[in-house]
């Protein structure tokens, strides 16, 4: 696997992915005195390990063995394997839309390599591995590969982690919160309950803001709609259809005074945006398009369109009346209108 950093949570996540892929946990693993595992090097092979690594080892029940500093011959086979992987799997440098895509490509390359037969061996890598796997322990419940940090909410409904600011839902915000940092995401918790999840940012002094977190506050202060940074960021990316909807809402409330009309239109628009909390963006866009076309572009109308998209009216198949030809014309013949005179007291 590849990771954006060498932090301890990535070190652990790489282990977990390996155990899952290998479908077992080895009894002993060898290391080269990396700081994510070793706190202090003592005499001989003795090491004082990082407390988090001791917890991790204890969860998966494997022993750790450390190479002697400066003695490269102790891990010559490992260095050779690393070189093979670098030359064959990482040259040229891999590129992709995400780390998940790159890691998927690497996993496929490793699995294909199981068909290779190493020089002077009678079996393939996969065949030899099938025999060795029997000595592995079963994989226990997955370990949470994250670091935890106590944080304090700032006046803007955000928590700061590694110089970056992450938003928190305003209705669930509390003064003291906990951030759990995973290799690729950040979770914010209040009393052990997850209240926000963000893609982890490895830049510095960046704002990672979820606009949905601020919508309840904007309902109370619609005048801030045009100036709120999270909404400006979202607005630069959302489909033009949303601007059509906002213009429509402003037009339909124009009968009121200018200030009241604008505030009311913004509130209605925010109520519609809040539907994103439950529905995916693509479905919302469809529902808004249907509502505008049908002339029901308001909260209730868009909710109706969403419900129709989620649970469309069933199509009723035509009855097959080939075995009942006498019923074939039922409902198609002309109705004798003189029968209605009976209801009017006319001729019978």
Angle between helices 281-294 and 240-252 (to 10 degrees): 40
The whole-angstrom separation of Cα 213 and Cα 225 is 13
- Would you state the pLDDT for residue 36? 95
Residue where the block lists tokens 């496929």: 108
Structure tokens at 66: 């450390």
Ordered by start, the domain boundaries in the chain are 8-135, 147-209, 215-310
Domain 8-135: CATH class, spelled out: alpha beta
* pLDDT at residue 346, as a whole number: 56
Strand boundaries in the chain, DSSP class E = 28-31, 38-41, 47-49, 63-66, 147-152, 158-161, 164-167, 176-181, 185-190, 193-199, 207-208
Query: What is the reported pTM?
Result: 0.80
**Is 339's pLDDT higher than 90?**
no
Give per-residue pLDDT as tens, 246-305. Answer: 999 998 887 655 667 889 999 999 999 999 999 999 999 999 999 999 999 999 999 999
**pLDDT at residue 79 is higher than 90:** no
Q: Identify the pLDDT of residue 70.
A: 78
Angle, in degrees to the nearest 10, between helices 258-273 and 299-310 = 20
**C-alpha distances in angstroms, 127 versus 116, 252, 266?**
10, 72, 65
* Whole-number pLDDT of residue 255: 62
Instruction: Read off the pLDDT of each residue in 24-53 and give the average, rounded to a whole number.
Output: 94
DSSP symbols for 80-112: HHHHHHHHHHSSSPP--SSHHHHHHHHHHHHHH
Mean pLDDT computed over 168-189: 95
Model confidence band, residue 117 (pLDDT cutoffs 50, 70, 90):
very high
CA distances from residue 32 to 36, 52, 70, 105, 165 in whole angstroms, order as listed: 11, 17, 10, 27, 35
Do 202 and 7 contact (CB within 8 A), yes or no? no
Q: What is the pLDDT of residues 205-254, one digit of tens each?
A: 999 999 999 999 999 999 999 999 999 999 999 999 999 999 999 988 87
Question: What's the confidence (pLDDT) of residue 260?
Answer: 77
Provide the pLDDT confidence category of residue 347 given band limits of 50, 70 and 90: low
């Amino acid at each position: 696997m590849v990771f954006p950093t060498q932090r301890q949570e990535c070190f652990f996540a790489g282990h977990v992915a390996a155990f899952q892929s290998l479908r077992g946990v080895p009894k002993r693993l060898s290391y080269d005195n990396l700081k994510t595992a070793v706190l202090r090097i003592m005499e001989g092979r003795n090491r004082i390990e990082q407390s988090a690594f001791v917890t991790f080892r204890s969860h998966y029940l494997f022993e750790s063995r450390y190479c002697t500093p400066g003695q490269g011959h102790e891990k010559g086979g490992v260095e050779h394997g690393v070189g093979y992987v670098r030359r064959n799997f990482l040259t040229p440098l891999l590129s992709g839309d995400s780390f998940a895509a790159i890691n998927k490509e690497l996993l496929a390359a490793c699995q294909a390599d199981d068909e290779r037969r190493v020089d002077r061996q009678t079996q393939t890598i996969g065949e030899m591995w099938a025999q060795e796997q029997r000595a592995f322990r079963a994989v226990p419940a997955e370990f949470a590969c994250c670091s935890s940090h106590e944080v304090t909410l700032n006046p803007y409904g955000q928590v700061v982690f590694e110089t970056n600011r992450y938003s928190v839902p305003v209705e669930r915000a509390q003064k003291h919160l906990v951030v759990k940092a995973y290799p690729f995401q950040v979770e914010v918790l209040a009393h052990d309950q997850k209240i926000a999840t963000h893609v982890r940012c490895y830049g510095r002094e960046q704002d990672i803001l979820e606009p949905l977190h601020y919508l309840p506050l904007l309902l109370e202060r619609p005048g801030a709609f045009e100036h709120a940074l999270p909404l400006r960021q979202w607005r630069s990316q959302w489909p033009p259809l949303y601007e059509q909807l906002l213009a429509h809402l402003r037009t339909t409330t124009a009968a009121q005074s200018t200030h009241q009309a604008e505030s009311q239109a913004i509130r209605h628009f925010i109520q519609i945006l809040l539907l994103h909390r439950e529905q995916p963006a693509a479905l919302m866009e469809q529902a808004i398009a249907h509502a505008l076309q049908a002339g029901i572009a308001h909260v209730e109308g868009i909710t109706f369109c969403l419900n129709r998209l989620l649970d469309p009216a069933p199509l009723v198949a035509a009855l097959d009346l080939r075995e009942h030809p006498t019923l074939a014309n039922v409902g198609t013949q002309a109705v004798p209108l003189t029968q209605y005179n009976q209801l009017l007291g006319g001729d019978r």
